[in-house]
Structure 1
């Protein structure tokens, strides 16, 4: 079946492009909505949709990045000029950044851990959806994903967590391969010998 071969080929070569190696063009609003629909098609025990998206585009990325830089400098006044420059570009390295926000919460039937893993699956699906639309992508977290003081600035509500920031754009350079684990190091066989 051609679809399976195409998907197998894609998965065997899937790579991320570093966010700082992305450039315009980025996806238009309709493309982003298409990507988010695809990203939402993940295992979701109980149909809770325990995640949501925040899309950062345009000049707001620069404003938020500048405020993140101010927060980083307040926490570490001795930041180097190089790191201040990095902080000032946190959300501007790619044309579009999508926060995947985990809304996992206690539930009478669905373990919170399963809800959290569903948000992780959304992140991976969004990477692949961006690639399917012809863009490169990268899943990052970085310090502000874990600093709840940054959450109001980012649009994250109390009780929510950031599963990842998916950076989407066009590649400035071709992707390079990186070492992958050997199966013998990560697989345990139980039962009959293969």
Structure 2
């Protein structure tokens, strides 16, 4: 076996990825000793051959690396465009939801108002359909006042009143209408007038 073949075998062994660092150092030291014993022309030829082989190997590895990097960049650009499109759709949906939230709040207020109006209208229609004629309707009566002096004072003050469903006392005093949902509120108002 020639010296050059031995050197190439050792070079291949030293470039093997599974060789440990200490083995590489030993092989490099052996190569250095052999290079020192060989003629300068052989060393130059060997250096040229090694550098050509190293250049070809590096070019091959770098081309594979470059191809892989190009694939990664293409995938990254694709993901970037998809993420941008998704962010735009989310932003559009948030804008739509904000507008719909305002419309929903308005609609809920209207629904509450309409439900109370419907209840009032249903109750009025029941009262109207009770079958009693207007001739049998009683006159003005102050309800739940046990003291006759209080009744007389209210009548003397000229306050118009009536009971509306659902149990809302309505008083009209000097052109202003006042509604009371509890007897205490009405009593406090009457006391303030007297």
- Structure with the bigger percentage of strand: 1
TM-score by length of 2: 0.20
- Structure with the bigger percentage of helix: 2
Relative contact order: is structure 1 or structure 2 higher (C-alpha 8 Å, sep ≥ 6)?
1
